[in-house]
Structure 1
Amino acid sequence: MSHPSAEDEVVELCSELIRIDTSNPGDHSGPGERQAAEYVAEKLADVGLEPKIYESHEKRSSVVVRIEGTDPERDALLIHGHLDVVPAQKDDWTRDPFGGEVADGCVWGRGAVDMKDMDAMVLAVMRERLRQGRRPERDVVLAFLADEEAGGTWGAHWLVDNHPELFEGCTEAIGEVGGFSLTLPNDQRLYLIETAEKGLAWMRLTATGTAGHGSMVHHDNAVTALAAAVGRLGEHEFPIQLTKTVRAFLEELCEANGTEFDPDDVEKTVEGLGPLKRMIGATLRNTLNPTVLAGGYKANVIPQTAIAQVDGRFLPGHEEEFFDTVDELLGEHVSREFVHHDIAVETEWEGPLVEAMAAALRAHDPQARPVPYCLSGGTDAKSFSTLGMKCYGFAPLKLPKDLDFSGMFHGIDERVPVDGLRFGVRVLDHFLDHI
Structure 2
Amino acid sequence: MTNPTPLADLSADDLAARLSTVRADYEALQARGLTLDLTRGKPGADQLDLAAGLLGLPTTYRDRAGTDVRNYGGLDGLVELREIFADLLGVDTSAVVCGGNSSLTLMHQVITAMLLKGGPDSPRPWSQEPTVKFVCPVPGYDRHFTMLAELGIEMVTVPMHADGPDVEAVRALVADDPSVKGLWIVPTYANPTGSVCSTEVAAALMAMPTAAPDFRIFWDNAYAVHHLTDAEVKSADALGLAAASGHPNRPIMFASTSKITFAGAGVAALATSAENRAWYLERLGFASIGPDKVNHLRHVEFFGDADGVRAHMRKHRELIAPKFAAVDHALTERLDGLGIAEWTVPTGGYFVNLDVLDGTASRVVALAKQAGIALTPAGSAFPHGQDPRDRNIRLAPTFPVLAEVEAAMAGVAVCVELAALEKLSA
What TM-score do you get using the length of structure 2 for normalisation? 0.27
Higher strand share: 1
Higher helix share: 2
What TM-score do you get using the length of structure 1 for normalisation? 0.26
